[in-house]
Amino acid sequence: MSQVLTISCKLKVSPSQAAKLDATMDAFVQALNWVNQNTPEKVVNAVKLQSLCYYEIRARFGLSSNLAQQVCRRVAGSRKVAKQKKRPVKEFKSGFVTYDARIFSFRQKDWTVSLTTVEGRERFELAIGNYQRGMLAGSNPKAATLIKRKDGSYYIQICVEKKPPKQQDTDKVIGVDFGRTDIAHTSEGDNWNGQQLSRVRERYSRLRAVLQRKASKGTRSSRRRCRQLLQRLSGKERRFQAWVNHRISKAIVSRAKTTNSAIALEDLTGIRERVNQQPRSKAERRRTNNWAFYQLRMFVVYKAAIAGVPVVLVPPAYTSQTCHRCLHIHPDPAQSYRNGKQFKCGHCGWEGDADFNGAKVIALLGAAVNQPRGPWLACQLQGYRKPALYCEVVRVG
């Protein structure tokens, strides 16, 4: 099973080439918006879109045959995603063009790429470092996306298929517990405190509230400026979250690789919808929904695949209520041995950090994948033996 990685490479562009790239990106986004506005919204098949407007795209916007097909594919793909989220595709923003193997090529001998523009084919030198060269060496990429950043620089995001290394066989498992107080806590004792992150997010929230109030009143120019600042602020917060998640996921995977261990994560799919059903204040709802746990999980999964580290997903039920030492759960369903960040077992007396205990329980569940006929995870409840952590675990990759 191959893994698709995206390698971002800066292009060395002359003024004349920059004009051609700008013209291509402008024509591409105009074609995207025209197709989206002038074709039935229910059409989500690229072939049907192409039959409806292929010749019109070429005549109106001067795009080549393959670029016109890329327009239809991009609109169809965006509509499919929007349909799943039950919202329409409003507008495409400028500054990008998608390419496939017919209109894009990579040449390793001089580290250049060839791209089709509205004025013909152009070749560009890549301004890249050793990491990009190592990832691109020996590859035959079939797709790429050209983007123009706010500083005016041009980048090509090249999609490379890599066959991940064979996953290491091991009986060791590192459990990882995700949370708000500690963004991540491992069964090895490593943790990433979320207090500083919470302060940064609260600052963004206060700035956003001020700008939203100003955006609703004042002159037309001031309202427009506030909307621009809100958009820029959103991008800053998103990049900040991605940077932190990259750093945490890299540390977790490096630790697992060093100790020859697998990684066990909670499958938190749908947890936001379930938690939002509970009565909470607006501020508490915002704090809970703000952090991108799914993104952190995806970063761990793809980095682990590159490193050859196995990843398993376990259901989160009772992981925070079970003692990792004796597997005991409080006999009263309305109560728990956990109190905030502290966990004190009423059966064996173990006391310590609640997130560390949860990570240990997750590690036990993850070890059940490598030991399918191992010990039964059960605890003693109300005088009889009942399984406490019986569950189905899923191996990723």
pLDDT tens for 252-308 read 999 999 999 999 998 877 655 555 556 656 565 555 555 678 888 899 998 998 888
Strand duo 262-266 + 173-178: pairing: parallel
Q: What is the structure's pLDDT at 277?
A: 58
Distance CA 351, CA 325 (A): 10
| Least confident range of 111-115, 156-160, 390-394 | 390-394
- Report phi then psi at 70, rounded to 5: -65, -35
Strand partners, 21: none
| Least confident range of 72-76, 87-91, 145-149, 387-391 | 387-391
Give residue for tokens 């998103």: 238
CA-wise closest residue to 136 among 154, 160, 115, 112: 160
CA-wise closest residue to 147 among 34, 287, 343, 11: 11
Query: What is the value of pTM for the model shown?
Result: 0.74
Give percent above pLDDT 90 in the chain.
Answer: 42
What six digits make up the tokens of 233? 């602020």
Q: Please, which pLDDT band fits residue 235 given cuts at 50, 70 and 90?
A: confident
Q: Please, which pLDDT band fits residue 389 given cuts at 50, 70 and 90?
A: very low
CA-wise closest residue to 355 among 223, 135, 222, 194: 194
Greatest mean pLDDT range, 48-57, 79-88, 313-322, 374-383: 48-57
Q: Any idea what the Cα angle at residue 184 is, between residues 182 and 189, rounded to 5°?
A: 95
Mapped onto helix, strand or coil, the DSSP state of residue 11 is: strand
